[in-house]
Structure 1
Amino acid sequence: MTISDAYGNTLTTGTAMSRDFYDIGVKGLLAATYGAKDVFEQAISADPEFALGYVALARARMLGGDMPGARTAMAAAERLAPMTTEQEQSHINVMALLVAGKPVETRAAVWEHVQRWPRDAVIAQLCTNVFGLIGFSGKVGREADLLSYTTMLMPHYGEDWWMMSMHALSLCETGATSESLDLMERSLALNPHNANAAHFKAHALYEIGETRAGRAYLDDWLTGYDKRGGLHGHLTWHAALWALQDGDEERLWALVDAGVAPDTGSSMPINVVTDTAAIYHRAELAGLTVAPERWAALSDYTAERFPKPGQSFVDMHAALAHAMSGNGDRLAAVMDVQKGYAHDLARPAARAWGAIARGQWQDALENLIPVLAQSERIGGSRAQRDLLELTYANVLLKLGLTDEARRVLSLRRPNLAKPLPVSGLVA
């Protein structure tokens, strides 16, 4: 039997109950709330021959860090594919490419799929967000590409809370902050539990320097968000970052230890490594002391979860953790990385962290310059790449180029200019 999901896409399933569970799960997946995996399992229990139920389960397991489980679910979906429609077969093919670890091919397949079926949100979402396939493409202009992608999709979704939040982030990352905030508020009015919209609102408030408003907003919003939710740890990082900017050291470490650092939350490993390394280093730049044991624990966690370099955004932060903990062998592996969408930038970034750890500021400057020139290729948001901006300003300061450090921040990231989050720089 062929029926339609909440977005009007065809589903081959023998029972409306499977469709109903699927719709609930998709809503949770798109809103980054906890429990989507369990709901997709219920959809499959209601109809063990429901191919797209297995696909959605594979995606949920991926987001939970369970790659063996994702591959098992995709194998079931591919077995059932011949009994489904052309749209569903295309849907299955796209996710199979993703699970197989073929991001370039997956991105091309997503584009081809959404040209025909733009409201297939489970597939469309793979290229949205700064952590999607466009965000981690390693290409110059990927922020403009992301805006172009969501702009193309928007007319097909109307007043849809999920697509509004995705497009709002694209606007935020390309400088249209006011328009982004307006759209985010509309999204949250339709679904106040959308963690993606709450996340992207935090980004917009960060971009306009609304530290206290951001702290108040996240402190309130996080009270109703399950700690097991996929974005809980990263939203806690945003809150910790604002505490740091506000000079609230006690709250900073309470937040870090409650949901950011290794073994304290339920974040995906990529967020644990990148968020923890960033907040530690930004705390040090602001003049705080980070215990050596913190860096050592992060380096060990990173080596365990990412034993081989090759994911450029992780590599940049992994190198920082290894450098600050004095793990030279681990750092050397990143300095020599030959894989990853921006490995040519991960290598000098790793060399820069090593030089900073040794206090070799000129060497650090020479290695940071090529990274900053194309930092968008590394991935992540502007807020995350501010790690590099602030590090560059600090290196200039260490070289006695204080006026240049101030000028660089005021021109490149004026939202960081007041108050200056680098110890030793006076506005």
Structure 2
Amino acid sequence: MEEDRYGLPLSTASTDAAAAYREGVDLLLAFWPSAADSFERAIMLDPDFALAHAARARIHAIYMQREAALQTIKRARDLVARRGTPREQSHVATLVLAIEGRGTDALDATLAHLESWPRDAMIMALPLGAFGLLAFSGRRDHDAARRELCDRFAAAYGEDWWFLSNHGWALTEAGDIAQGRAVTERSFALRRHNAYAVHALLHAMFEAGALDEADALVEGWIGDYDRTGMLHGHICWHQALGALDRGDAAGALKVYTDVLVPTMDTAPPLNTLSDCASLLWRLLAENYTVPGGAWAEVAAYASPRFTGSTLAFIEMHLVMIAAATDDTAALKGRLAAIERRQTEGTLPAGRIVPHMLRALRAFAEENWRACARELTPVIGDLARIGGSHAQREVIEDTYILSLIRSGALTQAREVLDTRLHRRPSARDTRWRALTTPAPA
């Protein structure tokens, strides 16, 4: 019987279909281009190969092609019921829950599945990363939970390049930056054509304040990574963060105009939304000039794609757009919906979300005191919105600047001192100088 790269049986009689599936899984786990082509080739070679259909559905879901994802995963479910092992049936059932957006049920199913089949990498991938089931669970401790999950199953994977990149990043986000980087570097050494490992290394360098080193990594590696790669734009976004740290707004804007503009970017929509909106917001927050029409362009991209969002991470970026474009109707509608969900108890991230959204609106209106007032009681809960430390830091930046501009200098200095203790930052050092009263 054919097997995947992790030794798990595959219900296909076609050697070529199994090979195409294995190739597709590796490309998807590395966030490398052409994974969809590999899965489609596997389906062509064996139209009844359930896991190939399931993997193709997963890519449809990543790119928010909801109808295609639902149709394709239904085909996988029908096929696996007729010709599938218990592992494959559980694999497809778990992906059904994830694709249908049933996050809590999908996480429960994932953890149960891994008890029996820990080396099922496609399922192990679901709770990991900044956009995984754990990150978007609303839990405050999701960074620690990802580390614990990887620690638990590390022996099952050994020196596997994919698992090491995830384990390394989980360690980094949980605060063990040196070990996280070392583990990620082992992954990168095993497979250089692994955008996930490069991305994880960039996060380790960000957390350590090694932004020049991060720039060098990107410049020396990205030439081999096609622009159609899922993480191409986001890896360049990390360069923009480094530019802003150095006070180089022109460099950050160049990343936006050359790479991130929605009409040019081929990344999954969630990456495009978050990268564009958060970078433009950072520029706005520091009073740098944003290109004319940039916000309108991002708004036009987001409007048809995120009509029914329920994730705090998505809401954060949609409200940035609405606030920056002075879309009063959108702001009122989103806030009303979020406040209603909080009252109903259906908001996984809890009370931080309405506070955060009201704060963003106040900041755009230059109501610094109101922004600080909204964020002060919930700033310790930022992890609950999901994403990575680097992505969530935009809210902390907004908070610090609102404190400085409202005259709450002692409070701003305390926040900055905590950040500077964690990692060096030229930008935070500049901001801290603004909190020190001039000598009498």
Q: Output the TM-score relative to the length of structure 1.
A: 0.95
Contact (CA 8 Å) 1:312, 1:343: kept in 2 or not? no
Distance in 2 of aligned mates of 1:88 and 1:266? 31
Q: What secondary structure is seen at the aligned counterpart in 2 of 1:278?
A: helix
**Residue identity in the other structure for 2:409:** T
Classify 1:347/1:157 alpha carbon distance in 2 versus 1 (closer, same or farther; 3 Å). same
Matched-pair contact (CA < 8 Å) for 1:22–1:53: yes
Distance across 2 between alignment mates of 1:410 and 1:384 = 20
Structure 2 unpaired stretches of 5+: 435-440
Q: Does residue 391 of structure 2 align to residue 384 of structure 1? A: yes
Residue 349 (structure 1) shift: 1.3
Alpha-carbon shift at residue 292 of structure 1 (Å): 5.3
Aligned partners of 1:48 and 1:111: how far apart in 2? 29
Query: Which amino acid is 2:108 matched to?
Result: A
Alignment-derived partner of residue 290 in structure 1: 290
Task: Give the C-alpha shift of residue 239 in structure 1.
Answer: 1.2
Give the letter aligned to residue 359 of structure 1: E
* Residue 20 of structure 1, CA deviation: 0.5
Counterpart of 2:348? Answer: 341
Give 1:200's aligned residue.
Answer: 200
Letter in 2 for 1:37: A
Tell me which amino acid in the other structure corresponds to 1:380: G
Residue deviations 1:355-405, cap 9 Å, x none? 112221221112112331211000011111111111111011011123431
Deviation track 1:14-54 (CA, whole Å, cap 9, x = no partner) reads 11111100110000010000100010010111111111111
Matched, 1:21 2:28: no
Greater CA drift, 12-21 or 339-348: 339-348
What is the alpha-carbon distance in structure 1 between the residues aligned to residue 161 and residue 19 of structure 2?
A: 19
Aligned to 1:215: 215
- Structure 1 residue 180, shift from structure 2 partner: 0.9
Q: CA deviation at 1:424?
A: 5.7
User: In 2 relative to 1, CA 222–204 (structure 1 residues): closer, same or farther, beyond 3 Å?
Assistant: same
Aligned identity (percent) is 32
What residue is the counterpart of 2:29 in the other structure?
30
Question: 414-423 or 349-358: which moved more?
Answer: 414-423
Confirm or deny: 8 A CA contact 1:334 1:347 kept in the other structure: no
Q: Contact conserved, 1:282 with 1:387, CA < 8 A, in 2?
A: yes
Deviations 1:158-203 (A, max 9, x none): 1100000001011101111111111111101100011110001000
Deviates more, 1:242-251 or 1:129-138: 242-251
Asked if the contact 1:71–1:99 (Cα under 8 Å) also holds between the matched residues in 2, the reply is yes
CA distance in 1, matches of 2:310, 2:430: 33
Offset at 1:290?
A: 1.8
Shift of 1:141: 1.0
Q: 2:234 corresponds to which residue? A: 234
CA distance in 2 between partners of 1:152 and 1:15 (Å): 34
Equivalent AA in structure 1 for residue 64 of structure 2: G
| Native 8 Å contact 1:409 1:416 kept in 2 | no
Residue 411 of structure 1 is matched in structure 2 by 418
2:7 maps to 1:8: yes
Structure 1 residue 297, shift from structure 2 partner: 2.3
How far residue 329 of structure 1 moved from its aligned partner, in angstroms, is 0.8
Deviation string 1:192-242 (CA, Å, 9 cap, x unpaired) is 011110001000001111111111111222111110011111111111111
Cα distance between partner residues in 2 of 1:40 and 1:20: 10
- SS at 1:41's partner residue? helix
State the 1:151 CA deviation. 0.9
8 Å contact from structure 1 (residues 286, 423) kept in 2: no
8 Å Cα contact 1:335-1:346 kept in structure 2? no
1:302, CA displacement in angstroms?
A: 2.1
Residue 10 of structure 1: SS of its match in structure 2?
Answer: coil
CA distance in 1, matches of 2:56, 2:431: 50
What do the CA deviations read for 1:49-73 (whole angstroms, capped 9, x no partner)? Answer: 1111111111122223322222222
Unaligned runs of 5+ residues in structure 1 are none
Q: What is the SS of the residue equivalent to 1:11?
A: coil
Tell me the CA shift for residue 421 of structure 1. 4.8
Distance 1:223 1:243 in 2: 20
- Distance in 1 between the 2:264 and 2:432 partners? 33
From the superposition, tell whether residues 135 and 306 of structure 1 become closer, same or farther in structure 2 (CA, over 3 Å): same
Q: Which amino acid aligns with 1:146?
A: R
CA distance in 2, matches of 1:189, 1:285: 38
Corresponding residue for residue 437 of structure 2: none
1:288, distance to aligned residue in structure 2 (A)? 1.4
CA distance change for structure 1 residues 210 and 424 in 2, over 3 Å: closer, same or farther? closer
- Specify the alignment match of 1:245 in structure 2: 245
Residues 324 and 364, structure 2, Cα contact 8 Å, conserved in 1: yes
2-structure distance, mates of 1:159, 1:111: 22
Q: Quick one: distance in 2 between partners of 1:24 and 1:424? A: 48
Give, in whole Å, the separation in 2 of the partners of 1:249 and 1:347.
30
Please report how far the alpha carbon of residue 291 of structure 1 lies from its aligned counterpart in structure 2 after TM superposition.
3.9
Task: Name the amino acid aligned to 1:350.
Answer: L
* Maintained 8 Å contact 1:409/1:417: no
1:70-106 C-alpha deviation (Å, 9 max, x unpaired): 2222121111122211111111111111122211111
Question: How far apart, in 1, do the equivalents of 2:320 and 2:350 lie?
Answer: 15
Distance of 1:374 and 1:109 partners within structure 2: 26
The code of the aligned residue for 2:265 comes to G
CA contact (8 A) 1:278 1:317 kept: yes
Question: What is the correspondence of 1:55-134 to structure 2 with a 5 Å cutoff?
Answer: 55-82=54-81, 83-134=83-134
Which residue in the other structure is 2:358 paired with? 351
What's the counterpart of residue 368 of structure 1?
Answer: 375
Worse-superposed segment, 159-168 or 140-149: 140-149
SS state of the match for residue 118, structure 2?
A: coil
2:165–2:196 Cα contact (<8 Å) kept: yes
* Other-structure match for 1:397: 404
- Between the aligned partners of 2:14 and 2:130, the Cα distance in structure 1 is 36
Q: TM-score, structure 2 length as denominator?
A: 0.93
CA contact (8 A) 1:334 1:346 kept: no
